[in-house]
Chain A
Amino acid sequence: MSDIVQPAQATQAVNEERRRRWRQAAIYAALALVTFVMVFPILWMISVSLKPTTETFSLPPRLLPETFHWDGYAKVLTDPKFRSFLINSYVVGLAVTALSLVIGTLAAFGFSRYRFFGDRVAKLFVITTQMVPTITLLIPYFGVIVFLGLYDTLWGLILTYLTFALPYSIVMMNGYLDTIPKDFDEAATIDGCTPLGVLVRVLLPVALPGIISTAVYTFLLAWNEFLFALALTRSMDMRTVPVGISMMVGEFGLKWDEMMAFSVIGSLPVLILFMLVQRFVVGGLSAGGVKG
C-alpha cells in the first residue's frame, strides 16, 4: 500500500514545488517590471545629462550616449548660481527636518502619554489639516508670509514647510510612541526621571526608526517642493533646487543637458539618504501605520 502511495506523494510534492517556482518566477518578473518602470526615468535622466542635445532626440532612442558629454555638469558645477540653489535647499531641508522632529516629537509625546481636555479633538484637527489640498493654501500663505516680513527669505520657506510637515511628524511619532509600553516610562520615573528625561533617555532611543522615517519624509518634502518655493521667493540667491531646474525651461527652448545634470545632482542627496536609511524608513512607517 505504502509502495503505491509514495510515488503519488512524490509526484504531488514535485508538482507543488513546480507551482511554487512558477509563482516565485511570476512574482520576480512582476517586481522586475515594476522596478524597471520606476528606475527607467532615473536612467534616462542620467543618460540625457551626458548627451549633447542633438543626440537627446535621436531616433531610435539610445540609453547609452555615443560619446560622453560632460558640458552640462561642468556648467552646473562651476556656476555660483547653482551652488546657491543647492545650499538653500540643504538649509531649508535640514532646518525643516530638525524643527519638525523636535516640535513633532514633543507634541506626539503629549498625545501618546497624557490625557487632557480636548486631546482627541486636537489630534483629529492635526490629521484633518493633512486633507486640505496645498494649492488652495497658496494665496493665504503668501499673504501671511508677506505680513510677517518673511517674503523672499529662507525663513519664510522654513515656516511654510514646517506647517506642512508637522502634522505628519506628529501623527507618525504618536503612532510610534504608542507602540512602546508605558511600563518603560513608569520604571524610569521610579528611577527619578522627569517626563522630559523619560522622553529623551528612554523613549527616543527605542523610537529611532520612527524618528528616521519621519526625518526622511520631512526632508524629502522640503527638498522637492516647487510651488511655494517659486511663489514665496523672488531673489536668485533665495531660490531652491526645484525652482532652479524650472528656470532652465525657457520661452525659446530647453537646456536639456544642464537641466538633467542639475536634476541628477539635485537627486543624489535624496537617493543616497534614502538608500542609507531605507531599512528604518520601512520599519518606522509600518510601526506607525499599525498602531496609529
Chain B
Amino acid sequence: MIKTRFTALALAAATALTPLAAQAAEIEWLQWFAAENTDGFYDELVADFEAKHPDITVKLVTQPFGKVRESIVTDNAIGVGSDVLGLNMPWTKEFLDIGILEPLDEYLARDDNSFATSDLVEAPLGKIDGHTWMVPLNAFPFVMHVNMGLVRQAGFDAPPATWEELAEQAGAISALEDGISGIGMPFSSQPPSNGPILTFLPLLYAHGGRIMADTTPNFDNPEVVATLQFLKDMNDAGAIAPGAASRTGGVDLEEFIAGRTGFMISPGVHSSSITSRNPELEYTLVRVPTNGETAYRVHGWEIGIAADSPNKDAAWTFVNYLLSPEVNARAAKAANALPGNLAALDAVREGADETLLKQMEILSGDTPVEEMRQSPKAAASWSVMTEEIQAMLRGDQSPEEAAAAVQARWLDLAG
C-alpha cells in the first residue's frame, strides 16, 4: 500500500515538474575566459545565474584562446554553434561576412536591461554595417610596464613619458650589459601573438595616428610612417631586444618578468602575472609614451549572440546578467581587468590592488581605440602588417615602403 502511494506520489510529482522542465532553455556559452587564470570563477557565475533564472541552464564551453576563432567558424558551418559567444574585437568583420553574429541594437534598447548602454566601454559598441554586434565584458587597456630597477641603473629617476624619453632610456638600458634590453617588441607572426597589434598600434594611437578611415584601410599616412620610423630608429640604435621577428607576446612577458627588459607594452592585466611571479622586481606601470595624444589601445573580452541561436532571448538574459554592475565588477576583479560596464568601476575600485588602481587613474581621461574590429579579414590583415614590419626591421625596406606595402596588400584583401 505504502509502495503504491509512494509510486503515485512520485508520478504526480514528475507530471507536475514536466512542464517546467520542458520550458527550460539550455544555452551554450563558448569562451576562453575560464581558461585564463580564473579557476572556477565562471562555473560559480553560471551556477549563480541558474539559481536566479531556473528556466535557463547554461553550458560553459571553454576552448584555448588560440582555437576559439576557428571553433566559432567551424561550429557555425556544421550547425552546432553556441548561443552566446566570447569574442575578440578584431574578429568582428570576418564573422559578419559569414553571418555568425546577431545584431544587438534591439536588445540594447530594451527598458528592462540591468545596465545603461551609455555606461559600457565604447570601443566594442561602434556600429559596423549600421548595427552593434557585441558588448564588453571586460576591458584591458594597453599600458607600458616598467622595470624601475633598470631605469635607475641607466641613470634615470622616472619612467619615460614621451617617445623621445622612451628612445633615450631604452637605449641606455640596452647599453648596461649583455642580455639586458631596453624594450621588447614581439613581432612574431605565430598566433595568438599577433605582433604589431601589441606594440605598434598602442604607440601609433599615443601619437594620434589611426590605420583605418572608417572601414577603409588607411595605412600609408604620415602618423603611421612616423611610428614605423620611430621603431626602426630604436631598432637601429640597439634599444629593441634582439630577435623581434620571432619574439612572441608570451616570450616578451617572460623576459620582462625575468628582469631582462626595461619596458614592455602590453595589456595592464599582465601586472598581476608580473608582481605575483617576480615579487623582487622593482615594478611600475605607466601610460604608453605619447606625443601629446591621450588615446590608448583597448583590448577586451566581448560577448555576442549567435545569429542562428534558437534561444536568443535566453541568451540575452544571460548577457544582461553578465553586464549588471554587480556581476560585471566580479568578472572584472576575477580577470584583474577594468569592467566593461563603467558603472561597476566603484565596486572594482574597492579592494583593488595598486596596479589596477593605477590603470584606472592613468586611463581615466583617455580615449579607448580599437580599429582592427573594422578591418576586413583582421587576422590576415595583422599577418600582412607583421610581415612588412619584419622586413623593415631587417633593413629590406624603408618605413615609407613598409606603409605603402601594407596599404596595397590590405586593399587587395578588402577586394
Binding site for B on A (CB under 8 A): 52-54, 56-59, 138-139, 142-143, 146, 151, 230-231, 234-236, 246-255
Contact = CB atoms under 8 A, between A and B. Distances in A.
B67 A250 contact: no
B67 A230 contact: yes
A53 B254 contact: yes
Which label, helix, strand, loop or mixed, suits the secondary structure of the B interface?
mixed
A146 B79 contact: yes
B75 to A, nearest CB: 8
Contacts of B66: 246, 249
B273 A252 contact: yes
A139 B64 contact: no
Interface of B: 28, 30, 32, 35-37, 59-67, 71, 74, 77-80, 179, 192, 250, 253-255, 257-258, 260, 267, 269-270, 273, 277-278
17 contacts: A56-B254, A57-B255, A146-B78, A151-B80, A230-B63, A231-B71, A234-B63, A235-B61, A236-B60, A247-B62, A247-B64, A249-B66, A251-B36, A251-B65, A252-B37, A254-B250, A255-B37
A53 B35 contact: no
The 10 closest A-B pairs by CB, nearest first: A251-B65, A57-B258, A57-B254, A234-B61, A246-B64, A250-B36, A247-B35, A53-B277, A247-B64, A54-B278
A255 B254 CA distance: 11
Contact of B253 (A146, A248, A253): A253
Most B CB within 10 A of own CB, among A56, A252, A253: A252
A249 B65 contact: yes
A51 to B, nearest CB: 12
B67 A59 contact: no
Given A146-B80, A247-B62, A253-B270, A54 B257 contact: yes
Contacts of A52: 277
A252 B336 CA distance: 11
Contacts of A56: 254
B257 A251 contact: no
Given A139-B74, A142-B78, A59 B254 contact: no
Nearest to B39: A79
Contacts of B35: 247-248, 250
B63 A54 contact: no
Contacts of A54: 257-258, 277-278
B62 A236 contact: yes
B78 A143 contact: yes
Contact of B74 (A57, A231, A235, A255): A231
B379 to A, nearest CB: 15
B397 to A, nearest CB: 31
Nearest to A233: B61
A169 B258 CA distance: 49
Contacts of A235: 59, 61
Given A251-B36, A252-B36, A253-B273, A139 B257 contact: no
A235 B30 CA distance: 10
